[in-house]
Structure 1
Amino acid sequence: MATIDRHATTLALAHALSAAERGLAVIPLSRTKLPALRSPHHEQPEPTPCHGECGRPGHGVYDASTDPRRIRELFTAAPWATGYGIACGLPPHHLIGIDLDTKSGTDAPAALRELALRHLFTIPATVVVATPSGGRHIWLAGPPDAVIPNSAGRLAPGIDIRGAGGYLVGPGSRTEHGVYSAVAGTAHLPPASCPPALLRLLTPPPRIHQPALPHTPVPAPVQRGQGLVQFVLAAHEGQRNTRLFWAACRAYENGIGESLTDDLTDAALRVGLTEHEARSTIASAARLTGHA
């Protein structure tokens, strides 16, 4: 049975209610940073997908609310909660969390700075939360019409993204590793708008589904990468470097980076980049995906 720390629970509830006043939907978390309430369907032999339609709590981020009465009900049902999670992707802020990890041995802040220099964006003044392990959570606001997916290491090693369906551990939460706290001078800032160049990196391109014909031979690596080449060729001014970098990262992640380099470079030249710019961007993608 979970140990109950009523003082920690009271503080977590107070912080959660304060966050809700700012329009942030919250849920109670346990010391493990997981949702404190267990699914009401866990004993069913074949539980059906439910996002709270049953009316009972225990659906993780789908329980998130800004209603003080509802939040108190959730914490009452989970008296062992010592923290709270803030749901991402919901109005009014459509929160996006940039999680800079330090435990993996990578220099995530440096990777983010390199991305910012490469794609000409600056992280604006916004809420920054320090994690017990020494990492940072950067809060940004996304546009209402953008659905930013959760990802781990896709943008760069050590950088995780919390988007739609995800949540961030709120400042003031106590976990088994320590307390999350807002960095001095940022606690009362509103989440700043995500820079457009960074937003483009976070938004995956639309997938084109092409059913394979029977007995179709497995394509060669370069053939498999032609979709990435076409993605670069479709770039407009202002997107060229971003699209090339994204395509090169995906190529290296799928083991075809080296074989696709010339095709990607040629595509970049055709949309207006110089050869130096193209090869420098591809080299950057190789470094950030650990293939340099």
Structure 2
Amino acid sequence: MATIDRHPARHPRQASTLALAHALSAAERGLAVIPLSRTKLPALRSPHSPDDPPCHGTCGRFGHGVYDASADPARVRALFAAAPWATGYGIACGLPPYHLIGVDLDTKSGTDSTAALRELALRHLFTIPPTVVVLTPSGGRHLWLTGPPDVVVPNSAGRLAPGIDIRGAGGYLVGPGSRTTHGTYTAAPGTAGFTPAPCPHALLRLLLPPPRTTGPSGSATGSAAGTAHGRGLVQFVLAAHEGQRNTRLFWAACRAYENGIGPALTDELTAAAVHTGLTEHEARSTIASAARMTRPLG
């Protein structure tokens, strides 16, 4: 693992070569990666103007952030060739095979995020298993965990506890060996050879958005009319492509249950999922999983 270099700008060509090497090593493990600049942001700018509709990479060009992420060595090399100034790499969360969830224990907030996580673990009766831990230049830590393939964990900052950020679907983690303006990200001693461990179930439930309360009529308090919201969720499922059908269905089912319309929308969501190619059994299992995950903690 690379040692800390407080002045990565002194060797830009070497930093780029090392970043590519680390990224290819991560890709060999099945992790989808993108090149990052010294500021930890995606190194490739968007090819679109602000007025263009979002395409999430369907145009075939680079510059779509985590939507560019790949574990294919040829594509990784092409990404870094397009960004020769890259000094690091990001690892996309929420993608197969690991469905990575990053727990970012920050030190810049003035709080003891490690103690906050320990308190949560005691209160909710879970233990963080041995897993990959990445040390940040500022003294923080990134814990790598894996989630179920049908669970969509959103990104959040400080929602779980002060100083604890979560990197989920649509987010990325800075990979070990990446060089930034503040130093180098490194694997914690003894964890580099680990495989990301499964996220404890009790913690996973905490990472999902809290369910909304419902009024006397059964509709979600403060939400749009159930029928209009339900139609939007069904359309969201119908728009799924192969490889994202379960993920979209789970997300839509979670939103339905959070808004108090889950049971009423189950049949329509199931039919939409079957239309995209899932079996009825797969669809109902995913919806049942969403119902369990969004159930209020006792």
Instruction: Settle same-fold status: TM greater than 0.5.
Output: yes
- Residue 34 of structure 1 aligns to which amino acid in structure 2? L
Identify the residue that residue 192 of structure 1 maps to in structure 2. 197
Residues 13-35 of structure 1: per-residue CA shift (max 9 Å, x gap): 00000000111000000000000
> Unaligned 5+ residue runs, structure 2?
1-8, 213-219, 226-256, 261-291
Given candidates 15, 21, 24, the residue that maps to 1:17 is 24
Identity across the alignment (%): 78
- Provide the rounded CA distance (Å) in 1 between the counterparts of 2:50 and 2:129: 48
- Provide the rounded CA distance (Å) in 1 between the counterparts of 2:79 and 2:172: 16
- Provide the rounded CA distance (Å) in 1 between the counterparts of 2:211 and 2:95: 22
Identify the residue that residue 38 of structure 1 maps to in structure 2. 45
Counting only pairs closer than 5 Å after superposition, residues 1-292 of structure 1 correspond to structure 2 as 5-41=12-48, 44=49, 46-205=51-210, 208=220, 210-211=223-224, 243=296
C-alpha RMSD over aligned residues: 2.2
Residues 115-152 of structure 1: per-residue CA shift (max 9 Å, x gap): 00001100000000000000000000000010000000
Cα distance change of structure 1 residues 3 and 63 upon mapping to structure 2, 3 Å threshold: farther
Cα distance change of structure 1 residues 136 and 95 upon mapping to structure 2, 3 Å threshold: same
Deviation of 1:211 after TM superposition, in Å, equals 3.3
- Residue 130 of structure 1 aligns to which amino acid in structure 2? L
Deviation of 1:206 after TM superposition, in Å, equals 5.1
Deviation of 1:204 after TM superposition, in Å, equals 1.9
- Provide the rounded CA distance (Å) in 2 between the counterparts of 1:182 and 1:154: 26
What SS does the aligned partner of 1:92 have? coil
Residues 226-284 of structure 1: per-residue CA shift (max 9 Å, x gap): x99x9xxxxxxxx9xx945xxxxxxxxxxxxxxxxxxxxxxxxxx7xxxxxxxxxxxxx
- Provide the rounded CA distance (Å) in 2 between the counterparts of 1:45 and 1:51: 14
**Are the aligned partners of 1:155 and 1:201 in contact in 2 as well (CA < 8 Å)?**
yes
> Unaligned 5+ residue runs, structure 1?
213-226, 231-238, 245-270, 272-292
**Are the aligned partners of 2:211 and 2:296 in contact in 1 as well (CA < 8 Å)?**
no
**Are the aligned partners of 1:4 and 1:80 in contact in 2 as well (CA < 8 Å)?**
no
- Provide the rounded CA distance (Å) in 1 between the counterparts of 2:131 and 2:67: 26
Deviation of 1:201 after TM superposition, in Å, equals 0.4
Deviation of 1:210 after TM superposition, in Å, equals 3.9
- CA radius of gyration, larger in: 1
What SS does the aligned partner of 1:97 have? strand
